[in-house]
Amino acid sequence: MLKKWLSYILPITIYEKKSQISNNLEVTWNNGKLVIDSENTNYSYGSLQKVLRNGLYSIGKERIQNMNSILVLGIAGGSVIKTLVDEFQFKRKITGVEIDEEITAIANQYFKLNEITNYTPIIADANEFVKKINEKFDLIIIDIFEDSNMPDFLFEKEFIYNIKQLLNSKGFVLFNTMNLNEKGIDKNKQFIAAFKPSNYTIKEFENIEVFNELILVEKIS
């Protein structure tokens, strides 16, 4: 507990691990909270958790509680899972897909993600997973980063098509992205353009925690 209190003065790293996918991973006490960071960005339980919480509240607590199934692509330490279960009291099915086994182990060891009974973790490439699964979801959360970079496949037509196929009528896609430069802004526009206004409504939340942008898609038919 001493490290926790000292972290209000200075962040204290308690665990470090090299990952082939996420590079350097650190578990750190920061302002009295455990967070997971990569070399250049927060991965879980810091500013990232605030970003996704904003998106979830935009959908609405009651609406989320009434959903039957949620898919999360990109789990990292599982802060959005914890938010759904603890803050939104979501009790139905959550499926989480994460490619990095190292960060999954950290999530289980330090944040007890494996103790959440309505959560099913899957170690897989999200791009391949959405091609193969035959299931529908009420909410799909996309939160995939490799350090501070976003894989190109997230903005490709095939991936977006597959996401659409997995979404129930009246369902939502919550996409956490970044706009570090003009290229990033153009990619976000490309993602949005793939959803026809006759079938989907789009809300954009720009400059959350400086560079993050949330794109909220609702399927209306």
Considering the domain boundaries, does residue 36 fall inside one?
A: no
pLDDT in tens, 129-157: 999 999 999 999 999 987 667 889 999 99
Q: What is the average pLDDT across 7-36?
A: 74
What pLDDT does residue 132 have?
A: 94
State the residue range of the domain holding 196: 47-219
Considering the domain boundaries, does residue 197 fall inside one?
A: yes
Most confident of 104-108, 116-120, 174-178: 116-120
Whether 165 shows a pLDDT value over 70: the answer reads: yes
Which amino acid is present at 196? K
Considering the domain boundaries, does residue 8 fall inside one?
A: no
What pLDDT does residue 40 have?
A: 64
Sign of CA pseudo-dihedral 217, 208, 63, 68: positive
Considering the domain boundaries, does residue 40 fall inside one?
A: no
Considering the domain boundaries, does residue 67 fall inside one?
A: yes
CB atoms within 10 A of CB 213: 19
The reported pTM is: 0.89
pLDDT in tens, 53-67: 889 999 999 999 999
**What CATH number corresponds to the domain at position 120?**
3.40.50.150
What pLDDT does residue 110 have?
A: 87
Considering the domain boundaries, does residue 177 fall inside one?
A: yes
What pLDDT does residue 1 have?
A: 59
Chain centroid to CA 153: how far? Answer: 16
- The rounded radius of gyration (Å) of the Cα atoms in the chain is 17
Confidence at 33, pLDDT banded by 50, 70, 90: confident
The number of folded domains in the chain is 1
Considering the domain boundaries, does residue 71 fall inside one?
A: yes
What pLDDT does residue 218 have?
A: 97
Considering the domain boundaries, does residue 180 fall inside one?
A: yes
